[in-house]
């Protein structure tokens, strides 16, 4: 399919080279349209060599072919990565002062923009207002990642990895292709429209004292991806999260920390929900007592007491089982997650099937976890287990956005 890859003038332009290669190797016809400032980071020769096509920034090149109109009208997808603060502002206000902004004005296909800039620029009200304007017009904004930026700075504003952006592009192209087929529905990309979904995410923290807590390795990336994909597909989304990640565009976020807070927020949001997805890693236990002051080592003169305090634990409520027990009829559809490790008593899938039987949810998303596996990673591999079926459907290894899309596809079949 025909893809226009717009490149803004930011240091993250180098990542667009990998995105271009991924799109080209998948068989897509890619035309690169950089801004003038983008060429200060990655030169014209690089784009031409990777795409196999001449590269222009202005409307005056090949005027007889009217590229400022033709490229946008003929494209199946326009993706801009990185989209700088300046480029977002020009796109939001309808400016047409170079070839890329002309393409954005003439495009009648899906448009994906991946902002990348310093945290202060991303969080500025002007940038956020421009993002909201573009989203209201149907532009798919891929929220920036949080991490190392230019220099020593770190925070939200980092361009997502090329593989994650490629996955978004492939989803948009697949939807467009499905809509173009005989009998294809134009609204295929909005197949969750009219649905209210609740997603939990992140690992809860159970405080021991003002400094310490019991927690786990969950990053919340999968839950946030589920929320983002559901919003893209038209759902009204409530994300109950214990993760310190940027809020996905168009999603209502309820920030929590503990298992009890998560239970209360999820139960409240689930009252009017069509689907509840419990992707959070909820702590099974919490300290029985909370120390209002930091627990310190004890000393007898100059001698340190080598003993350690005993921490008594109490069990946290099982949010997933409680949702199943309290629902009326078949609504809402309830999806659980099982982070499992195999041991001498059984494999990951054997433990997962036993969990599905105990919990009684409609769908269980199973992944094997451990140091460097799943937790904190951008990619994952899961197995989907549906209640009443012995078949496990594998998905991945793939970016977590692709995993999220597969989960929602399975949910739609249940709906």
What DSSP designation does 62 have?
Answer: T
Q: Is 216 a catalytic residue?
A: yes
Question: Which of 125, 115, 113 minimizes the C-alpha distance to 156?
Answer: 115
Which of helix, strand or coil describes residue 67?
A: helix
Q: Which strand (E) or helix (H) includes residue 384?
A: strand 379-386
CA 169 to CA 261: how far, in whole Å? Answer: 36
Strand 196-201 vs strand 275-278: parallel, antiparallel, or unpaired? Answer: parallel
The upper half-sphere exposure of residue 122, i.e. CA atoms within 13 Å in the direction of its Cβ, equals: 24
Q: Which two tokens stand for residue 141?
A: 């904004």
Distance CA 354, CA 374 (A): 21
- The one catalytic residue in 130, 216, 316, 367 is 216
The answer to whether 82 and 114 have CB atoms below 8 angstroms apart is yes
Q: Is 273 exposed, middle or buried (0-12, 13-18, 19+ CB in 10 A)?
A: buried
Q: How far is the C-alpha of 380 from the C-alpha of 401, rounded, in Å?
A: 10
CA 385 → CA 30, 164, 183, 389, 409, distances in Å? 38, 25, 31, 7, 13
- Complete edge-to-edge strand list for the sheet that includes strand 379-386: 252-255, 236-241, 196-201, 275-278, 333-340, 363-368, 379-386, 392-399
Q: Which sequence positions are flagged as catalytic?
A: 216
């Amino acid at each position: 399919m025909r893809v226009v890859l717009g490149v803004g003038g930011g240091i993250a332009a180098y990542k667009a080279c990998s995105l271009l290669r991924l799109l080209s190797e998948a068989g897509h016809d890619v035309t690169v349209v950089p801004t003038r400032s983008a060429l200060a980071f990655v030169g014209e020769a690089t784009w031409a060599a990777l795409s196999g096509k001449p590269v222009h920034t202005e409307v005056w090149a090949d005027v007889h072919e009217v590229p400022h109109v033709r490229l946008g009208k003929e494209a199946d997808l326009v993706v801009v990565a990185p989209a700088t603060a300046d480029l977002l502002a020009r796109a939001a206000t309808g400016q047409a002062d170079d070839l890329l902004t002309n393409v954005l004005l003439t495009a009648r296909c899906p448009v994906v923009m991946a902002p990348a800039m310093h945290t202060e620029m991303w969080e500025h009200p002007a940038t956020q207002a421009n993002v909201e304007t573009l989203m209201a017009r149907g532009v798919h904004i891929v929220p920036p990642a949080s991490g190392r930026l230019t220099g020593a700075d770190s925070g939200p504003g980092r361009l997502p990895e090329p593989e994650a952006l490629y996955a978004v592009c492939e989803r948009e192209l697949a939807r467009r292709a499905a809509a173009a087929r005989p009998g294809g529905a134009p609204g295929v990309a909005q197949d969750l429209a009219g649905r209210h979904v609740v997603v939990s995410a992140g690992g809860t923290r159970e405080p021991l004292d003002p400094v310490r807590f019991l927690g786990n390795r969950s990053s919340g990336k999968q839950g946030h991806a589920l929320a983002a994909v559901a919003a893209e597909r038209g759902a009204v989304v409530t994300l109950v999260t214990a993760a310190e990640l940027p809020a996905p565009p168009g999603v209502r976020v309820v920030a929590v920390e503990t298992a009890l807070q998560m239970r209360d927020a999820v139960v409240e949001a689930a009252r009017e929900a069509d689907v509840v997805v419990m992707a959070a890693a909820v702590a099974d236990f919490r300290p029985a007592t909370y120390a209002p002051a930091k627990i310190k080592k004890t000393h007898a003169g100059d001698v340190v007491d080598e003993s350690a305090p005993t921490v008594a634990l109490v069990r946290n409520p099982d949010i997933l089982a409680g949702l199943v027990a309290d629902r009326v009829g078949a609504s809402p559809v309830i999806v659980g997650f099982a982070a499992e490790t195999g041991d001498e008593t059984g494999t990951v899938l054997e433990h997962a099937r036993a969990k599905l039987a105990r919990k009684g949810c409609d769908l269980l998303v199973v992944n094997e976890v451990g140091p460097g596996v799943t937790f904190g990673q951008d990619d994952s591999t899961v197995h989907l287990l549906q209640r009443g079926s012995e078949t496990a459907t594998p998905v991945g290894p793939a970016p977590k956005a692709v995993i999220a899309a597969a989960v929602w596809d399975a949910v739609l079949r249940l709906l």
